[in-house]
Amino acid sequence: MAAYTTETITPKHHDALVTWQKKHFPELEFLQTNWSKYYNQTPFQLFAKVGKLNSENITYGRMTGQPRFEQAGDMVGNMFYTARDIIRAQASTELGSIQQHRLTLEEAPTDQMKMAVLRIMAEELRHGYQMFWVFDHDKSWKKPGHPDVAQDTIDELLAMELGNHVLDAFNIPFVNFLDNVVFATVIDLVGKYQLEMQKVFSYAPMGRSMGPMLSEEGFHIGSGRGFLRDLAVAAHNDTGKHSIEEMQQVLNMWVPRGVEMFGNERGGETSVAFGFKDRNNGTAQSEYYNEVREVLELVNIAVVQCKVKDTPAPEARTISREVMDTRETVNGVSPKDLLFAPDVKFFRSRGMEEIAFMPYDINGNMIMDNGKPVSGEKYLDYLSTVLPGYYFTGTEFAKYREALLGREAPQPGRSYGW
């Protein structure tokens, strides 16, 4: 028996998304024409995949044991609009990532990498379609006396450009193919966690959407990890376009954005109480960050095996960990040869007050000046040494800089941490 059934959305919304695709993703036709040359799976099709629920009842939160909501209109008050906000944010990430990936698609070092990115973009398009289905098929999103939430949200999503998507990570333009690779490695991994958490969603149509989306997300993450490993090995073989230092700088830019996608570390209890997710923000963020570290360790094992020939994987892992722990050269492998995840507190613009906009370095140490945290200007100087140069010319960094320096401007009745 199939793991899912397929459905389409109303012609009005289907055609609107196809029009969006032709503008932002015209390369889809090339992917479909060449699909069978690269993939054995069923060729891409644009429809909703409706999976099965592990339980027909709510399994988390204050309504545990009650039947899941089949109609959005049966959710009341904050629950209704919180569900809308989560679905809207999910759809925004799907469409935003297509706009980002396309910017540097032609810089892919190999045809395989280019086709993988095209497939990722196509599946993100289908995931956007899936979220449209969640809104479109349920007429109860329009409550008497309220705006047509489904129509208004779909219209808003179709009008979003880079710079006004819901989450910061989807407003950063890609500049080179390293962005494609690192994004697929660390930002799509956030997507995996969000989809896993939302399998319990108390609004049943959203819960039924998660399984099929998760199965496709695996390809995105796997592609990113494999390509990051290949690029790191190529850097040591002197056959690659990007150095380890460049890769590390791009990781330093993207990992903080991934960490922030979980929300404030102390938050998320409302989503659990409503039965929308099975973990709070802090728990999910911690699990995510640990997995990022594990992913980079696998890349480092491949690098060690490249530099120290005929080294079995277990021994390569030991060397990698010793280098990272001691920050010393071991068997000819130095810390500069390996990749690592910047500390969870580094370069944060969202989160707990003691972390957001605070001058932590990549190792999680507060940068001090005469016994006090350094000024915003000095922290910007530090960031210029550990982030890719092109990032500083973008609007997202401009927003960060303005907010960072704005914290130091004296305002009546406000206290400052630094």
Is pLDDT at 242 greater than 80 in this prediction? yes
Report pLDDT digits (tens) over 129-154: 999 999 999 999 998 888 899 999 99
Report the first-to-last Cα separation within the chain, whole angstroms.
Answer: 60
Per residue in 268-322, pLDDT (tens digit) is 999 999 999 999 999 999 999 999 999 999 999 999 999 999 899 999 999 999 9
Q: How much of the chain, in percent, has pLDDT values that exceed 90?
A: 92
The DSSP 8-state label assigned to residue 330 in this structure reads B
Per-residue pLDDT band at 407 (split at 50, 70, 90): confident
3-state secondary structure 68-88: CECCHHHCCCHHHHHHHHHHH
Going by pLDDT thresholds of 50, 70 and 90, the confidence category of residue 411 is very low
Measuring CA to CA, which residue among 314, 313, 134, 107 is closest to residue 206?
134
Instruction: Supply the pLDDT for residue 146.
Output: 82
Confidence class of residue 172 from pLDDT cuts 50, 70 and 90? very high
Mean pLDDT of 165-190: 96
**Residue 148 DSSP class:** B
Q: CA distances (Å), 289 to each of 7, 20, 308, 341, 386, in order?
A: 36, 34, 28, 8, 19
Distance CA 284, CA 292 (A): 12
- Please state whether beta strands 4-7 and 368-369 pair in parallel, antiparallel, or not at all (unpaired): unpaired
Q: How high is the pLDDT of residue 409? A: 58
Domain residue spans of the chain: 4-299, 368-406
Q: Is 92 helix (H, G, I), strand (E, B) or coil?
A: helix
CA–CA distance, 278 with 9 (Å, rounded to integer): 29
pLDDT of residue 2: 62
What pLDDT was estimated at residue 414? 37
Query: Which residue type, as a one-letter code, is found at position 327?
Result: R
What tokens does 134 get? 């969640």
**pLDDT confidence of residue 290:** 98
Residues 6+ apart with CB under 8 A from 406: none
pLDDT tens readout for residues 314-358 = 999 999 999 999 999 999 999 999 999 999 999 999 999 999 999
Note the pTM of the prediction, 2 decimals: 0.93
The secondary structure of the chain in percent helix, strand, coil, rounded to multiples of 5, reads 60, 5, 35
Superfamily of domain 4-299: Ribonucleotide Reductase, subunit A (1.10.620.20)
> What's the pLDDT tens digit per position in 10-64?
999 999 999 999 999 999 999 999 999 999 999 999 999 999 999 999 999 999 9
Q: For residue 368, list its beta bridge partners.
A: 373
Written as one string, the DSSP assignment of 332-400 is TB-GGGS--PPPTTTT-SSS-TTTTT--B-TTSPBPEETTEEPPHHHHHHHHHHHS-GGGGGSHHHHHH
Q: In this predicted model, what pLDDT tens digit does every residue of 361-384 receive, in sequence order?
A: 999 999 999 999 999 999 999 999
Instruction: State the residue for tokens 């810390």.
Output: 335
The stretch 245-255 carries a mean pLDDT of: 98
Predicted pLDDT of residue 3: 84
In this model, does residue 412 exceed pLDDT 50?
A: no
Average pLDDT of every residue of the chain: 94
Q: What pLDDT is recorded for position 416?
A: 29
Q: What is the 3-state secondary structure (H, E, C) of the chain?
A: CCCEEEECCCHHHHHHHHHHHHHHCCCHHHHHHHHHHHCCCCCCCCCEEEECCCCCECCCCCCCCCECECCHHHCCCHHHHHHHHHHHHHHHHHHHHHHHHHHCHHHCCCHHHHHHHHHHHHHHHHHHHHHHHHHHCCHHHECCCCCEHHHHHHHHHHHCCCCCCCCHHHHCCCCCHHHHHHHHHHHHHHHHHHHHHHHHCCEHHHHHHHHHHHHHHHHHHHHHHHHHHHHHHHHHCCCCCCCHHHHHHHHHHHHHHHHHCCCCCCCCHHHHHCCCCCCCHHHHHHHHHHHHHHHHHHHHHHHHHHHCCCCCHHHHHHHHHHHHHHCCCECCECHHHCCCCCCCCCCCCCCCCCCCCCCECCCCCECEECCEECCHHHHHHHHHHHCCHHHHHCHHHHHHHHHHHHCCCCCCCCCCCC
Angle made by CA atoms 391, 394, 400, in degrees to the nearest 5: 85
